[in-house]
Structure 1
């Protein structure tokens, strides 16, 4: 998947009058009426003027269904739409757009994309461009009443499988039993140097310091994190690992590779010294989970980028 993501966010700085976190599913209009001391007409006016954002995307649909952990913001002024996604790179007459949406799985309940490195999963305080916005646009082009629901996130600089639910019921069921229903979380990681032990398991507890940096400890008051790794290729300078995680903690693989003394290439937060890929050497290659309603096992794969194999050989 090619992409044309800007290095810096050049959208106008936004100011908000209020930010609300959603604790339970609700319709957007009803949610805002409960949170804001104003009339129904005033809320509808905010919606019609694109001053309400859900997870960073401006919305006007008053009965849009919200889910737990959604973030709703009220802007001081009308919000311009994000540049539209690009789904057909062969269309030379199309206007300049920002990113190709690489849909790798879709059914009635779920949609998954191969997220490019450099794109947020969900908007941040500093940046609106995110996978959620593009998937929302894609879904509403087909059905204006639809929306994606966030099931999980992967780091901005990590590429690979990112899955959204299509309805609030299945979202709630999956989030409630996420760790029970997830069967496989596989990544590929390129690290600096070579490992003495060619496969193994890392178990520790993760905590976060006041600078929002995650670190590893044996203090059980932290979040337990378990990571398995296996060397697939090595050349003396770098190693390519397949990695399975059994707990989806923030920066888990990055911290555990630092624990081994072999940080992921391009990982500025956790001690890299070289970066042959010109990006973070981490890719979410496979996610398998059970549909909580049907019990069907859903397996979604995103091909490992070819550049991950370049330092080792031209052919896999």
Structure 2
């Protein structure tokens, strides 16, 4: 059963997240942000940012869902380990696997498989995602870097923040292009009308995607996407924004699409500096079978 609160601002001033954490003492500001991101906190029936400046008589409605206990038990999931040393693991995540335990996905995640593979994983502030420094969606396949110790985690997180690592994706999208390449720079935030979706939002976080058209078919195109930032659902939202939603995407794509097991999106190439030596490491992995078969079919029947 969810807990429901309603707060009416008296004379207080300051940030929304700070005010709520002071009024409901068992809510940290981090937890408040999570609830805001999930559209569980409304100010005057609207979603506001954690930094929103409260005003007298603001009405704040808060829903705190009951948290399910998360299972961090090791599981033998036969992970595809591409590379491993004393600091990092590079793993090829299959389509359909969730990265870490969360509500609705308490086990059978990449983290459960990593805990079976090794006892050496960096601690995570939240506790439920040891070793994880970045994520890809459940139905996106491909490469992830995992930290085996805290020093490695800090190094990899710095590289992500400084945009010095390399992340290249292959995406099969709807439609054809006039330009062979481009840059999509549009901020992304939570969709206020659908808490499961992200959307282009002028008040969202900076998001930049570079794309190059590799092949074109009748009604579809294969593109390479290079991430400059790493926002939730970034490629899926950006490609929809320019009129080329991902094929098979159940959340952002059209109903009339290619059959598969979700969006045709694959994290093909990953590059970063080894945390201890500073040596550049770069890895690539082939697209999954279902993706390859669809491409072969398009090449055979719909090549332009």
TM-score by length of 1: 0.64
| Residues 87, 276 of structure 2: 8 Å contact kept | no
Is 2:97 aligned against 1:114? no
1:15-64 CA-to-partner distances (Å, cap 9, x unmatched) read xxx999999xxxxxxxxxxxxxxxxxxxxxxxxxxxxx8x7313xxxxxx
Alignment partner of 1:309 out of 286, 295, 300: 295
Query: What CA distance in whole angstroms lies between the structure 2 residues aligned with 1:197 and 1:226?
Result: 18
Unaligned runs of 5+ in 1: 1-17, 24-52, 59-80, 86-99
Q: Is the 8 A contact 1:174 1:181 kept in 2?
A: no
Q: Does 1:269 align with 2:284?
A: no
Q: CA separation in 2, counterparts of 1:22 and 1:167?
A: 23
Q: How far 1:312 sits from its partner (Å)?
A: 3.1
Q: Check conservation: 1:56, 1:122, Cα contact below 8 A.
A: no
CA distance in 1, matches of 2:27, 2:131: 19
Does the Cα contact within 8 Å between 2:97 and 2:138 map onto a contact in 1? yes
Superposed counterparts of 1:104-253, under 5 Å: 104-127=82-105, 128-140=107-119, 149-180=131-162, 182-210=164-192, 211-217=195-201, 219=202, 221-253=203-235
Q: Distance in 1 between matches of 2:294 and 2:227?
A: 20
- The SS at the match of 2:215 is strand
Q: 1:239 to 1:110 in 2, by over 3 A?
A: same
Q: Deviations over 1:65-108 (max 9, x none)?
A: xxxxxxxxxxxxxxxx65x32xxxxxxxxxxxxxx311111111
Whole-angstrom CA distance in 1 between matches of 2:252 and 2:133:
26
Q: Does the aligned pair in 2 maintain the 1:234–1:312 contact within 8 Å?
A: no
Distance of 1:168 and 1:157 partners within structure 2:
28
CA-CA distance at 1:212 after TM superposition: 3.7
The 10-residue stretch of structure 1 (288-297 or 182-191) with the greater mean CA deviation from structure 2: 288-297
Select between 223-232 and 268-277 the one with higher mean Cα deviation: 268-277
CA contact (8 A) 2:163 2:229 kept: no
Once superposed, what is the RMSD of the aligned Cα atoms? 2.7
The verdict on how the C-alpha distance between 1:295 and 1:308 changes in structure 2, with shifts beyond 3 A counting, is farther
Provide runs of 4+ in structure 1 moved above 4 Å. 18-23, 145-148
- 1:252–1:146 Cα change, 3 Å: closer
Deviation at 1:231, TM superposition (A): 1.1
Distance 2:223 2:286 in 1: 15
Quote how far apart the aligned CAs of 1:275 are: 2.0
Distance 1:118 1:278 in 2: 8
1:169, CA displacement in angstroms? Answer: 1.8
Q: 1:261 to 1:56 in 2, by over 3 A?
A: same
Task: Give the CA deviation at 1:234.
Answer: 1.4
Count of residues in correspondence between the two structures: 224
> For residue 293 of structure 1, what is the aligned residue in structure 2?
276
Counterpart in the other structure of 1:57: 72
Q: For the structure 1 residues 277 and 237, does the alpha-carbon distance in structure 2 shift closer, same or farther, using more than 3 Å as the test?
A: farther
The 1:258–1:215 alpha-carbon spacing in structure 2 relative to 1, beyond 3 Å, is same
Q: 8 Å contact 1:181–1:292 — kept in the other structure? A: no
Name the SS for the 2:165 alignment partner.
strand
Q: CA deviation at 1:199?
A: 1.3
